[in-house]
Structure 1
């Protein structure tokens, strides 16, 4: 668990490079998120609540000695930037207003004091005075219910809220909090960091029991079997896979993205989990990861079903470096080639075919590919005759650049096989 000294008048604490990248991803995701919400020119206002559950003091210095914003400032700056972009891009007659109430929670009183000074110094003191920015002392788990209620009261119909939960470690966000968020807020999203390497590296019977007690997560790993599991040459993979499946199955989110933050100098990898109830939110996050491919990775195979073995650490059980999937241009090519080979076999499993929407939503949580990437691959297979896309009249579609949600995908009645000598 990191320790930060927030003393007003002293230089801000050091922020590691991987955490700085994490904040850059948050900024870019928020801007894309806001732009997605205001796609209709007639809108003049969007209203939501953002909860920063582990907000810290709001200011750091990076490894180059420069001051860099913490998550509260990142969020507020992203709102300002998005408003400008929306109004410029859509040439609006009436400016858009992004009405956000930001709730900053931290268990450290001097971190909140420091944040108050930072906000005032950066021109956000009026927001604090008006209650648009709330500073709340305490543990996130203790204030989660009140934050959910506040978000619901501000947006009772849409239930639009974003929870940024950059926890210190892996046990400060109970499953009950996540389930309540998704049960009570229709359009809630959660960005959750989870220090998976730390949990796995020190996992024993007592630590597993403590973890399950503090999070309420029921792991499929039996504590009594841990010693036996660790005799396996791939024990880390087995444990990581089990924990990932337990978390995603118990948090009540319909869509999720298990991307990994990849530190440059050995602090262990973090899960960066984006949890939501709508595929479009998941797709925006996946797109953001492709934009930050230098710092994010999957440790799994390309294409679909790449998470079937769960999370795999950068260093395998024989201390060999795992290359991983790095979201580069080469990775995009490999991802497409893999999907080209996988898709015909998947359609054979449903011989009567399935709609594009059924196909995509059934696989979205198992791939790093965005919807556009999957769509482009399906169209290429259709144009080469490997699959057939049917229109709503039951005829072969002439689609070349776009698929409709109800287009039916199936194999041709007779497939052509090429045999080389």
Structure 2
């Protein structure tokens, strides 16, 4: 597959951005704004610090199919920082300013793209940030610069290690698994937004190039030579291969929380994962909100409820060669999720007779559900109103909760319902 889609030269024609790339940028903007709002927890807070690494930054400016000029990911990131700061000041009605200590590191192996980006940054009013070092540009492969970038994050944030890596690679082999592991091993609070063109990979893999793929990516053992041998492939081989790749990527990275949604691509460009890897469930919840907001462009293939993301599979046909149903993140999917959770929650609580804290209940399932915390809370409150379950305080007393749950509220099946589920 091609290594790059775009070319830049200052004063020349801008490259045309693909529609699904515009959607990715829009999701990135929304995610960053909401993410910053979660970092500012108090009107008395004076500073937040974050390093953002755009590992495949491009030239900073594109033209859409309609002929409209649109920003690339570095400008989107900077605009999101400005928007978040304005919203913090307004929503918290601050009199005192808050310092957004954000450094943006932009990396691209194309020197002409980096030079074009620097010109765009000057043109868009970010020249002073370039000269002060708040924005840094590097020419080279992300993988080759990863160690130095991690060291810079640790220098800036030795205690929190807070950083966001935007890794919009063009294929599937430019961010090897050892590099992801290095990020999560070296830093305390990293996040990674990673694209992975799984459709292109499955079209490329063969018995002959499997070992080369493993050397390039570090994803050894995820795919076997038998999987690639057309003589032995069953109709479900894509299910098996994608499931193994997904598990290897997510658990192998060292991240505790992950969100594997598929971007619905432009025609002819294949399916790819948009993986969000993090160390905190709140970050995952913010990303899930962003996906629901952009539901016209994101899908996942599987059932609703708490068992959706066990494989990360998105082949277009199932074992019986029928179109696989897509979870569309729309109103129908929302209603389906609520119905599924209202059925599954009592079944889970039937195995936890002593009850379970609401936060623990959600966090235990956050990696395998499309639902946000607010959606799970809605399902729980509906079951409370229907007298299926009850809510206890931390002292064991019954709480009459109607509108909102607290993290330490204990969810427990009502006694009569418990007897019915156990068949007593």
In the superposition, the TM-score normalised over structure 1's length comes to 0.95
Tell me, what secondary structure is at the counterpart of 2:136?
A: strand
Aligned residues of 2:302 and 2:325 also touching (Cα < 8 A) = no
Candidates 125, 128, 133, aligned match of 1:126:
128
Partner of residue 396 from structure 1, selected from 389, 398, 403: 398
After superposition, give the CA deviation of every residue in 1:365-394 in whole Å (9 maximum; x if it has no partner).
Answer: 000100111111112112212222222222
In the alignment, does 2:122 pair up with 1:115?
no
| Mean CA deviation greater in 338-347 or 381-390 | 381-390
Secondary structure at the aligned position of 2:326 is classed as: coil
- The answer to whether residue 178 in structure 2 is matched with residue 176 in structure 1 is yes
1:81 shift after superposition: 1.3
- Count of paired positions: 418
Aligned to 1:162, what secondary structure does the other structure show? strand
Q: Which ranges of 4 or more aligned residues in structure 1 deviate by more than 4 Å? A: 315-320
For residues 197-250 of structure 1, the C-alpha deviation after alignment (integer angstroms, 9 at most, x for no partner) is 111122212333222211212334322443268621121111111110111110
Q: Which whole-Å deviations, capped at 9, do the CAs of 1:14-66 have from their partners, x for residues lacking one?
A: 11100010000001111111111113101222111110001111111111111
Of 319, 326, 331, the residue aligned with 1:324 is 326
Extract unaligned runs of 5+ from structure 1. none
TM superposition shift of 1:82:
1.3
Q: How does 1:179-218 map to 2 (within 5 A)?
A: 179-218=181-220
SS at match of 1:206: coil
- Structure 1 residues 239 and 148 mapped into 2: Cα distance closer, same or farther (>3 Å)? same
Offset of residue 319 of structure 1: 6.1
Q: Is the 8 A contact 1:242 1:310 kept in 2?
A: no
Q: Which residue of 1 aligns with 2:268?
A: 266
Q: Residue 33 of structure 1: which of 32, 35, 38 is its match?
A: 35
The one-character-per-residue Cα deviations of 1:170-203 (angstroms, maximum 9, x if unpaired) are: 0111112211212222121111011011111222
- In structure 2, how many angstroms separate the alpha carbons of the residues matched to 1:353 and 1:94? 44
Alignment-derived partner of residue 20 in structure 1: 22
Pairing 1:51–2:24 present: no
Please, which moves more after superposition, 375-384 or 267-276? 375-384
SS at match of 1:406: coil
SS of residue matched to 1:11: coil
Q: Which moved more, 1:33-42 or 1:247-256?
A: 33-42
Q: Kindly state the Cα deviation for residue 284 of structure 1 after the two structures are TM-superposed.
A: 0.6
Residue in 2 aligned with 1:289? 291
1:300, 1:309 within 8 Å by CA — same for their partners in 2? Answer: no
The equivalent of 1:162 in structure 2 is 164
The correspondence for 1:383, drawn from 385, 389, 398, is: 385
Displacement after TM superposition at 1:102 (Å): 0.7
| Cα distance per residue 1:281-320 (max 9 Å; x no partner) | 1111111111111111111111111122431224556665
Distance 1:402 1:144 in 2: 43
> In structure 2, what is the equivalent of residue 100 of structure 1?
102
Change in Cα spacing, 1:230 to 1:104, as seen in structure 2 (3 Å) is farther
In structure 1, distance between residues paired with 2:8 and 2:137: 15
Cα separation, 2, equivalents of 1:352 and 1:266: 52
Within 5 A, what are the aligned runs for 1:218-367? 218-227=220-229, 231-316=233-318, 320-367=322-369
Structure 2 counterpart of 1:62: 64
Residue 333 (structure 1) shift: 0.7
Moved more, 218-227 or 64-73: 218-227
Cα contact 1:314–1:324 (8 A) shared by 2: no
Query: In 1, distance between residues paired with 2:293 and 2:91?
Result: 20
**Structure 1 349/235 Cα, relative in aligned 2: closer, same or farther at 3 Å?**
same
Which shows bigger deviation, 61-70 or 347-356?
347-356
Q: Does 1:414 align with 2:416?
A: yes
After the TM superposition, which of the residue ranges 227-236 and 301-310 deviates more from structure 2? 227-236
* Secondary structure, aligned partner of 1:298: strand
Structure 1 residue 152 and structure 2 residue 174: aligned?
Answer: no
Cα offset, 1:124, TM superposition: 1.2
> Corresponding residue for 1:73?
75
Whether the 8 Å contact between 2:227 and 2:237 is mirrored in structure 1 is no
**Does the residue aligned with 1:294 lie in a helix, a strand or coil?**
helix
Helix, strand or coil for the counterpart of 1:410?
Answer: strand
Structure 2 segments unaligned to the other structure (5+ residues): none
